[in-house]
Structure 1
Amino acid sequence: METANLLKQVEFIKEVDKLKYILRKTKLLNSDRNENDAEHSWHLSLMAIVLAEHTNFPIDLLKVIKMLLIHDIVEIDAGDTFIYDTQKSHDNTTEEREAAKRIFGLLPDHQANEMIAIWEEFEERQTNEAKFARAMDRFEPLLQNVSNNGGTWTEFGVNYDQVYAKKQVIQQGSNTIWQYAEELINDSVDKGILKK
């Protein structure tokens, strides 16, 4: 039985390597190279460790890290949806649910069930852990776009109202980080890299 579990786990590990090939619209800090989903997930996880003291409430940090490491795995099948895409919903889609079932389903049942539950918790955004994880997910691209003179905001004609609406979610996880993020957004308008 242990060998059967190991073989399933190795298949999953090989499958999720594909996350390195999923390119996001956002570029690395101070760079013109697109970030891939694996880099994004790693960066968010490290951010959560470093910034956990700023959360609005007690959290299970290990659970937050698990959420951040697996939250975009579904994009192996479903692809990355640009947060400001007006044609396709960025919320949990049927494609993403099917992807979660297939990819996490490669694991032994107990691990598959845990991963799907953690992924769904992140998507539902109700728990303290999900709110803080979501704050990290929205904060990182803000830092990237600011460092790249507007980055995807400029490239795709994204305006202040769109950015403010999407980034305000940060406040649910951390008032402190939101205050800083709000300053960055307003400074970006003052610098002319984000249009009002």
Structure 2
Amino acid sequence: MNLEHLAKQLAFIHEIDKLKYIQRKTRLFNSQRNENDAEHSWHLAMMAMVLAEHANEKVDIQKVVKMLLIHDIVEIDSGDVFLYDTTANHTNTEAERIAAERIFGLLPDQQKEEFISVWEEFEAGETAEARFAKSMDRLEPILQNVSNEGGTWAEYDVKYETVIKKSSGIQRGSQILWNHTQVLFEESIEKGILKKS
């Protein structure tokens, strides 16, 4: 047994526990409590397993789940950027790249390279798996905000046009889920929990 190999894996496992302390702006379904990044990643992975049949293309669900469990680990160092933030861009940044190198660098080399590769694939959003994973990442806050009578849309005065712009990528992963999302938007506008400019 290679003790150095195991020690690196355990160091990584210890480090990623910090994801539980990264607070997001969105709140749990029907709740006033904010979600943390670990809860978010777990929920997305479960959503992907349940909703995989609605992907535009056949996907390797194990890879999708891996992407969703890995995608926000960099936020241990870089922090969470609110999806609807108007000053900070919610895209891959140099800070996230540095975080990926440091955190995944705790792992043995082969696992480090695999995890960074999966993270990069998610960020690029070009494969069927990445498109579907990203659609889960955009769908969850919509479902949360609908369940919370507008949630962060109301709290931060986020308008319909911004929500559409930030969430339209759902259709790249699942047209069926995008169609359903548009119904949710219309219902939210009718209820007054999502406002047009």
TM-score normalized with structure 2 length: 0.98
CA distance in 2, matches of 1:185, 1:105: 41
1:104 CA drift (Å): 0.2
1:160 is aligned to 160
1:92 CA drift (Å): 0.2
Q: How many residues align?
A: 196
Correspondence list, 1:7-46, <5 A: 7-46=7-46
Letter in 2 for 1:69: L
Correspondence list, 1:122-141, <5 A: 122-141=122-141
Q: Cα deviations across residues 71-92 of structure 1 (Å, max 9, x unaligned)?
A: 0000000000001111111100
1:119 CA drift (Å): 0.3
Q: Cα deviations across residues 86-133 of structure 1 (Å, max 9, x unaligned)?
A: 111110000000000000000000000000000000000000000000
Gaps of 5+ in 1: none
2:6 is aligned to 6
1:150 is aligned to 150
1:155 CA drift (Å): 0.5
CA distance in 2, matches of 1:134, 1:143: 15
Letter in 2 for 1:139: L
1:86 is aligned to 86
Q: Cα deviations across residues 15-39 of structure 1 (Å, max 9, x unaligned)?
A: 0000000000000000000000000
1:167 CA drift (Å): 1.2
CA distance in 2, matches of 1:2, 1:84: 46
CA distance in 2, matches of 1:168, 1:190: 20
Letter in 2 for 1:128: A
CA distance in 1, matches of 2:126, 2:2: 35
SS at match of 2:110: helix
Aligned-residue CA RMSD in angstroms?
0.7
CA distance in 1, matches of 2:97, 2:89: 13
1:149 CA drift (Å): 0.4
Q: Cα deviations across residues 4-55 of structure 1 (Å, max 9, x unaligned)?
A: 1100000000000000000000000000000000000000000000000000
CA distance in 2, matches of 1:166, 1:87: 14
- Runs of 4+ more than 4 Å apart: none
Q: Cα deviations across residues 132-187 of structure 1 (Å, max 9, x unaligned)?
A: 00000000110000000000000111000000111111100001111101110111
Letter in 2 for 1:160: Y
CA distance in 2, matches of 1:184, 1:167: 12
SS at match of 1:24: strand
Correspondence list, 1:114-129, <5 A: 114-129=114-129
1:3 CA drift (Å): 1.0
CA distance in 2, matches of 1:5, 1:155: 47
Letter in 2 for 1:12: F
Letter in 1 for 2:78: A
Aligned-residue sequence identity (percent) comes to: 62
